[in-house]
Amino acid sequence: MSENVKEFTSANFDADVIKSDTPVLVDFWAEWCGPCRAIAPIVEEVANEYDGKVKVGKLNVDNENQMAMQFGVRSIPALLIFNKGAVVNQIVGAVPKTKITEILDTVI
């Protein structure tokens, strides 16, 4: 992971995501998931390009399955965009970078 991609867990989720002053993109993923590995470089690019405007991080659903269930994540990769503590958009599946940036641009 790049320095701009944080690791979210149940321990830091409330402080880093829910109470964040900036929008947050959370990538719900798992190591065994091929599409998750395919989208990982795109998530890192977005994190670098939106540094300072959007916080970007990954949440491993195998380690944090309660968090995944709490937010209704049934398929991965799932990218949830939080703003002011609430989910404002969701992208499921490995999508092109333009799809992610278009949605982020509506939140910042």
Residues contacting 9, CB < 8 A, separation 6+:
59, 63, 64, 67
Question: Which entry of 5, 24, 33, 67 is annotated as an active-site residue?
Answer: 33
Question: Which entry of 5, 24, 36, 67 is annotated as an active-site residue?
Answer: 36
21 catalytic residue (yes or no)? no
37 catalytic residue (yes or no)? no
The phi and psi torsions of 101 (rounded to 5 degrees) equal -70, -35
Cα–Cα distance for residue pair 47/62, rounded to 1 Å: 23
CB atoms within 10 A of CB 103: 17
Cis before 77? omega within 30: yes
Cα–Cα distance for residue pair 83/21, rounded to 1 Å: 8
Q: Which residues are catalytic?
A: 33, 36
